[in-house]
Structure 1
Amino acid sequence: MTGDLAFRAATVEDVDAVVALVQSAYRGDASRAGWTTEADLLDGQRTDPDDVRAAIGAADSVVVLAERDGSLAACCHVQRRGDRCYFGMFAVDPTRQGGGTGKQVMAYAEELARTRWGCTVMEMTVIRQRTDLIAFYVRRGYTDTGHRSPFPYGVERFGIPRRDDLEFTLLEKAL
């Protein structure tokens, strides 16, 4: 891994690249090159161009791109919700996972939330069955709030579940 990460806000011209990155990190055979795959839990799409466009255009929202050596290495979405910020759409190119890129992107997003909007808490939802991913976030200072919410079964824009017990857990970190 050479070169530093360069961060910038995504524009509508980046929509297709963001969709492709997120899909490659979580779904299908390509996602198995990294450790963040959800391929054993879900089929179908992880996001779509309309969702990414909406995130880019939303108020108090930024889709962050992390580029290394001129190519897209990672992305995330940060959106202000009062004194909290929501962290989502987090994806690292599966071939670049495990080398510290994700940690750098998270640190950048947390600093952005603090400095741009004065947020005091970062929160995210994670599929509760993703214990390896939750453990990664716990090592980064996040805690499981115990708040659970149902997976949106029957809404294919979130994916096609391969099991019937999926639910989300809310994680948060004081900034």
Structure 2
Amino acid sequence: MADPEVADTDESWSVSDSVEKFASPYVSLRIDTIVDPAGDEHARAVVQPNGAIGVLALDDDDRLLLVQQYRHPVGKFLLEIPAGTLDVAGEKPLDAAVRELAEEADIVAERWESVLHLLATPGYSSEGWQVFSASGLSAVPEADRTDREAEEAAMVQWWLPFDQAVDAVLAGRITDSMTVAAILAVQVQRTR
């Protein structure tokens, strides 16, 4: 049986070689040669995005804010919590969450709380995510709203009762992994 305090550890295998294959302000790709405990070497692709945040925003009627956005890699419009990358130099995750909620949903919040930390796809990516809950919501004044471009220009905002959001996750109607994890984490917190 595992110790009740079992957790991820910060141990790593040594790297004998690392070659950058692609770099941009948003994401980079390198090929590392890792050395296992037996001394054998293995090539591994490592995708390095900047990291991201998500915002689980609940209004006073316990409705969850979702945005519907086109995601080209999967060719679908996905229902997601407002989210974005850590693409402003030196910006703290909470500041990015505040910015993204205002940019994607024209909403500001009075109260913020960290909900969970995730690793997106640790088999090939170093990207980490932090999800915050936001409450005490109000609208961004019309004059201060962000002009949305590209996929965000067609973004639609939806309010869904939280219980129905949980049902949508369990029925497979919401599949974005950060959104699913955030909704289920809050559901578990509510039942403890």
Relative to the length of structure 2, the TM-score reads 0.24
Structure with greater Cα Rg = 2
Task: Please state which structure has a larger fraction of its residues in strand.
Answer: 2
Task: Please state which structure has a larger fraction of its residues in helix.
Answer: 1
